[in-house]
Structure 1
Amino acid sequence: MLKGKRIVLGVSGGIAAYKAAALTSKLVQSGAHVKVIMTESAQKFVAPTTFQALSRQPVYTDTFDEQDPSQIQHIDVADWADLILLAPATANVIGKLTGGIADDMLTTTLLATEAPVYLAPAMNVHMYSHPAVMHNMKQLDDWGFKFIEPGEGYLACGYVGKGRLEEPETIVKVLEEEQKKKQLLKGVKVLITAGPTREKIDPVRFFTNPSTGKMGYALARQASSLGAEVTLVSGPVGLSTPAGVRRIDVTTAEEMYHQVLEHYPASELVIKSAAVADYRPRVTYDQKMKKTPGEYVVEMERTRDILMELGERKEHQYLIGFAAETQDVEEYGRQKLKSKNLDAIVINNVSEEGAGFGVDTNVSLWLTKDGEQKSFPLMSKDDLAKRIIEEAARQMKGDYA
């Protein structure tokens, strides 16, 4: 799966840099074209000539050492790459990447590239578990960077624990599996809705719900990582757009209705995970309402049922809905699956601990129109999104094994 792939290997300054030489050899043997970028610290452990001999390509060590005056070196390398692998990824380089710091050839290239970036951390066990490092890795993960987790064992510092650079053979295998996964939904047009909607009463008041959009954004991120062309219609949330995803921001249920229907005909996989308001105020005001004595009654009217309409208009699309329930979860889920002409539904019991709105985990039940049923126990929303996208891809291909 790596044959012909153009891989930039970033080597930063840790003792595990010596493993990067073997990794370079393994990547070349797999058929990849490898260019190596070394930090100044990495050169204290391994000489650039080692990587030049193994890769049969020039090794980059200095942003200002422009080998070809017709090109800007770090931009050219960033554009050349099909993927970038940072191994070892030290705490220092991870921190720089999170902070947007570009002070050498490696970090400027990392900021300039649009290729997927894989990081294989290697550091002391206490450094790896430090809150700052964990925070930085979480931020990069949210931005779409991929991590190849370090192994556990004896470290150069004398400690035993997590922090050892994963073995070159394993790293190559992970990259091959990732490339294989990218074929799963390659070119498939995916439409996903996420977040809440807001239905205003006046300029300073509105009705909404606690949805944070985390589930929908996780679905978009996973679909994109499998090669899909993802359009994300999002209500107002405070989340970063997943890498490679086209995002359309909306506020009200009516705005979401129009955007979804506009993109629905060209979509092949549609996942409606947004928590859309069922009602909106019948009357809204352009000026702020002033307090008056006594009670105030807001008359509400129904919003359009987006999922119902998608089910009625469905032609070639594989349509997945979400249901947030607090009682008779499976029964209500089955009713919604049938009444809205869905291909599958994901049901969340939001009364369960660790499930529902505002948390990073979920507990769900997966049902299909063909009678398939799977329980997804407590897991992160990213892991759940991965399971849902893989199930959808399998169903769309007719693989029911």
Structure 2
Amino acid sequence: MSNVERDPDEKVCTPGRHAPARFTEGLSDGVEPAPGEDGCVVEILEPRDVPLGGPRAMNVQRTLPQRARSLVGAWCFLDFYGPDDVSRTGGMDVPRHPHTGLATVSWLFEGQIDHVDSAGHQALVRPGEVNLMNAGTGITHTEYSTAGTSVLHGAQLWYALPDAHRFSTPDLHSHRPEPVSDDGWTARVFLGELLGQRSPVPTYIPLTGAEFRMEPGAEVVLDVPAGHEHGVLAAGGTVHLQGVEVRPGHLGVVETGSTRLTLRAGDEPVIALLIGGEPLGEQIIMWWNFVGRSHDEIVTWRAAYQQEMGFEAPDGESPLDTAGDGEPLGREVVEADVEALDEPGYADGRRFPQFGLFPPDPKAPLPAPALPNTRMRPRG
């Protein structure tokens, strides 16, 4: 999924509880701290509506990032959508767009999505099966709900890759976890380790991701690492986290220090999504669909994407800058362009094309927004 806002703010994401004042996305009153049953504080993050673009745009509810909090562990982005009537909104319709320095995680409760990426993968995203795309050095992909999907309900999450792995080779992993059930609840652990289950999907940093479906009045107590932060998204019905109410679409967050989490359903069935992980411990800049460590990285990646998609003229760093006529290519880079090059990569050693080659798609790629007028920089 792409962040399709045409004027995205710079997101300076720092480890710990609160982002600096410069972080401006989200609601000014987006956090309601509440005391939990075990004495810990549960932060309640309110979602905000974000259209995915177009006149019949499907709206998503975004709880991460926002002004009050930018990270839960390494998780830096959470969009929740549905149940969505595809006949009314058009469903998921996101043309080719880029990512760097992060991994995307798709989890569906209902419906199906076709995924195609520039690393050569084609996948069908289905309920109960996680799809994790490691963007690494750079990748592009498309996401379209299938023709047979009438209702779409799910979540798209990103987490920041740690510095040691953020330039890894792009790849895709799919996994269908076995359900774990007890008195009135069923869980599926799709990332990390929980309830005696361990996901085989590599994440490069300790993370947790799990779905819980709970009958009215059901309760589950989870043993969790004290060094991890955790968030619980109420994806259907109202769930209580440490005794604190988390309303539909909201995200309840518990800081490090807790060794047990208690989830409890009220008078209606609940679908909840648990995320968690070890704090990233690094400063990052998140702008549009890129996660970097400096202003210059973001500028370089945006330029490469715009030039490779044919939106902007090649600059001196690009191997396409051979004619020197100052004109954009006017189309996406294809294999013949790569084969015709004297130099196989960018001047700074990056592969070319950084965002890969792509199979034919009738829809044009999404152009990157304009850069902010001020220099982006991480702050402590």
* TM-score bin, normalised by smaller chain: under 0.3
TM-score of the superposed pair, with normalisation by structure 1? 0.26
**Higher RCO, 1 vs 2 (CA within 8 Å, ≥6 residues apart):** 2
TM-score of the superposed pair, with normalisation by structure 2? 0.27
Q: Which structure's CA Rg is the greater one?
A: 1
* Structure number with higher strand proportion: 2
